[in-house]
Amino acid sequence: MSVAVKSRAAGRRSAPHRAIAAAAVLLAVGGCEHPAPPAPPAVVVALPVHPDSSAGGSTALIRYPVEVLARYSNLMSFRVPGKLIERKLRLGDSVRQGGGVARLDPDDAGKQLASARAALDAAEHRLLFARQQLDRDNAQAAQSLIATNQLEQTQDAFTAALAAREQAADQLVVARNNLEYDTLVADHDGVITSENADTGQVVAAGQAVYGLAWTGDTDAVLDAAASDLGRIAVGQPAQVTFPALAGQRFEARVREIGPAADPQSRTYRVKLTLTQPGRAVRLGMTGDATLAPLASAGSPTDPQTFTLPATAIFHKGNSPAVWVVGSSDSSLELRAVTVRTYTDHSAVIASGLKDGESVVLAGVHTVHAGERVRPVRPLFDGDGDVESPANGGTNSGAPR
């Protein structure tokens, strides 16, 4: 009996110890729990941006492919129809002004000339007779030997004979010209650039027979994009090089800028005059032209522009905006910008960005303001992350 009492008493004494031990276990378990780790930064495609011309905005050189063309050229054709019986030149031949290049069959023109000459002889004889008759009637009218109406009829016949003689003379000139037109003559010194009719072919008046490029001033022609027109002006100096003439540079100047864009390519034709082309520069040569910056370009007041892909444009309200990656904590800031022009694949930013700032180029609808991100370069720009200045990296590789 005493043993049972002792056992119950010991159990009652150990109950507080068990409660303390359970509480200690719970505290130990609670102390082992850690807060949830923060979400990793979102990966975004971004690059540092730089002005469109990192050498100084509009002071950068402009380069375009060019083709050598004659300043003036024309199609050569006969003024009269006929059968082509002779061609004296071939493609690439040179011709002097006044030189004959082709002939038509002259038989019909020769007969027309003979007929016109005979008509003129007959008209001159009729005029001589009418003049003699008028002299006789004037003498008789002075003595009142003929009626007044007879004198008037004689005067009318003389006037008609005089007009007929002038008409026949003009027809003779036309017939002589037609015979001369059967020979095609070059109006200028030049080079034959095309052959458009064959010997034996019957050609119409005005139908092209040859293409002639005039000798003299030579142009290097390029097709400029509309975005570069503001940096091109008449008189602007340039240098032209040709792969076929290695090591040679030719001075040139902008002579003409097309007033309207080509309806298909939407580019503007710009013509450069070569100052001293030399004999080595031949028509049809292709090369590269480098236009020097305008004298007024590159001033501190010139605005800097940034060209971004169209996928980088977001909207802040009704205004265009872009996501800018913070340099210190890599968090996103939605910044409003001013877009100067849009194209099919890009946008030109006139204000709102600074040189070297990283801008998100794709996925702009999947991020939010203040979100921490890890920028990576696009596939076309190389592999690897874009290191921010805070991490000791350099901003390079601006999208062009």
CATH number assigned to the domain comprising residue 190: 2.40.50.100
CB contact set of 114 (below 8 Å; sequence gap of 6+)? none
Same domain, 356 and 251: no
Q: Rounded to two decimals, what is the model's pTM? A: 0.53
Same domain, 273 and 247: yes
CB contact set of 376 (below 8 Å; sequence gap of 6+)? 43, 44, 45, 46, 384, 385, 386
Q: Choose the final residue of a domain: 134, 164, 181.
A: 181
Q: Choose the final residue of a domain: 291, 316, 351.
A: 291
Query: What are the angstrom distances between the C-alpha of 84 and each of 111, 174, 182, 207?
Result: 18, 21, 9, 11
AA letter at 151: L
Query: DSSP alpha helices (H): ranges in the chain?
Result: 2-31, 107-142, 148-181
Sheet holding 338-342, edge to edge: 306-309, 346-351, 338-342
Q: Choose the final residue of a domain: 235, 270, 291.
A: 291
Distance CA 209, CA 197 (A): 5
Does the residue 151 lie in any domain? yes
Same domain, 280 and 193: no
Does the residue 66 lie in any domain? yes
Rounded to the nearest 10 degrees, what angle do helices 148-181 and 107-142 cross at?
160
Q: How far is CA 72 from the centre of its chain?
A: 20
Q: What is the DSSP letter of 385?
A: B
Does the residue 19 lie in any domain? no
Distance CA 220, CA 284 (A): 9
**Residues 325, 364 contacting (CB under 8 angstroms):** no
- Reported as half-sphere exposure (CB side, CA atoms, 13 A), residue 230 has a value of 9
Distance CA 291, CA 273 (A): 12
Query: What is the chain's pLDDT, residue by residue, as a tens digit (400 residues)?
Result: 444 444 454 445 555 556 555 555 444 545 455 566 667 888 888 989 888 754 444 456 789 999 999 889 999 999 999 999 999 999 989 999 999 999 999 999 999 999 999 999 999 999 999 999 999 999 998 888 888 899 899 999 999 999 999 999 999 999 999 999 999 999 999 999 999 999 999 999 999 999 999 988 889 999 999 988 888 999 999 999 999 898 889 999 999 999 999 999 999 999 999 888 878 888 889 999 999 877 544 444 456 788 899 899 998 888 899 999 988 888 999 999 998 888 778 888 988 898 889 999 988 888 888 888 888 887 655 444 444 443 434 343 344 4
Check residue 397 and give left, alpha or beta (phi > 0: left; psi -120 to 50: alpha).
Answer: left
Q: Which residues pair with 219 in a beta bridge?
A: 69, 273
Does the residue 29 lie in any domain? no
Distance CA 79, CA 110 (A): 16
Same domain, 281 and 235: yes
CATH number assigned to the domain comprising residue 252: 2.40.30.170
**Residues 193, 213 contacting (CB under 8 angstroms):** yes
Please provide the DSSP assignment of 54-79 as one string: TTTGGGS-EEEEEEEEES-EEEEE-S
Same domain, 201 and 82: yes
3-class DSSP state of 175: helix
Using alpha carbons, select from 155, 191, 177 the residue that is nearest to residue 72.
191
Does the residue 222 lie in any domain? yes
Same domain, 318 and 255: no
Using alpha carbons, select from 50, 48, 54, 52 the residue that is nearest to residue 385.
48
Neighbours of 319 (CB within 10 A): 12
CATH number assigned to the domain comprising residue 157: 1.10.287.470
AA letter at 67: E
Structural domains of the chain, count: 4
Same domain, 227 and 281: yes
Distance CA 90, CA 73 (A): 17
Q: Where in the sequence is the domain holding 81, given as residue range(s)?
A: 73-105+183-213
What pLDDT does residue 381 have?
A: 52
Distance CA 81, CA 112 (A): 14
CATH number assigned to the domain comprising residue 343: 2.40.420.20
End-to-end CA distance of the chain: 100
The encoded tokens of residue 199 equal 């010997």
> Exposure string (b/e) for 228-246, b if CB count within 10 Å is 16 or more?
eeebbeeebbbebbbeebe
Phi/psi for 373 (5° steps) reads: -135, 165
Same domain, 338 and 377: yes
What pLDDT does residue 57 have?
A: 45
Same domain, 167 and 242: no
Q: How far is CA 377 from the centre of its chain?
A: 32
**Residues 378, 45 contacting (CB under 8 angstroms):** yes
**Residues 42, 373 contacting (CB under 8 angstroms):** yes
**Residues 221, 66 contacting (CB under 8 angstroms):** yes
Same domain, 100 and 189: yes
Same domain, 315 and 386: yes
Same domain, 253 and 207: no
